[in-house]
Amino acid sequence: MRIGYTPLEEEIRRIEIPVLVRGSGWLAVNKPPNIPVHPVNKVRENSLIRVLRRQEGRESLRLAHRLDSETSGVLLIAEDSPTASVLSQAFMNGEVHKEYLALVEGDVTDDAGHIDLAIGEARNSRVYVRLETGHGKPSLTEWRVERRIGGRTLLRLFPRTGRRHQLRVHLAAIGHPILGDMLYGRPDEDYLRMVRGEGDVRKEGGGPTRHLLHCALLRFREPGGKEREVEAPMPKDFDPD
């Protein structure tokens, strides 16, 4: 018996990744929404890291951390493996200050607060990647209101722990899911229909076609010890006006 494989057919897209800042052994880019940062499923050559390697002409580029496919904003890229290791360890140790913007459903009444809820695997969900609060690992998110826009609220978020999907899970848990979030703002069946390619209720409803979460700022120390701060402007599809 012969075992083979079917090569993926992927047309390379013309994507420009904006570079925000270049540092000593690293660069920061403004990640566009709706692009995975690394190869996954059928997206290989059109993943951000491979697009950026072609754009910069450097195969040595490495991700220092990750953002969800639909999330936009500041993403740190190392120019080589040793720098990637140093920066990645800083993220793991909680030494990187992170600020996100999120446009959420509903009017958030208080001006600031925190969400201190453990996060673990969802026990009664048909979607295996979904998480929930109430058990699991301790997780803390601080927040403040930036603007209130008639039934929606623009929040600035400060994750103090780094759990997967933390901001999305926490905001859904307090009744203010991020606009456009199919995983935490819609029933399981809506998400599963999208995964099966049977339709996306976001497109049918005329609302945002991705979850409106944006990494607005990172503050960190580069390998040489100098503190750096990088900001990314809010994308047009995120602007509440």
Q: Are 146 and 240 in contact (CB under 8 A)?
A: no
d(CA 171, CA 99) in angstroms, rounded, equals: 15
Cα angle vertex 183, ends 143, 215, to 5°? 40
Helices marked H in the chain — which ranges?
Answer: 48-56, 81-92, 166-173, 188-195, 201-205
Q: Is 68 a catalytic residue?
A: yes
DSSP 70: T
d(CA 221, CA 25) in angstroms, rounded, equals: 12
Catalytic residue among 68, 110, 181, 237: 68
DSSP 65: S
Active site residues: 68
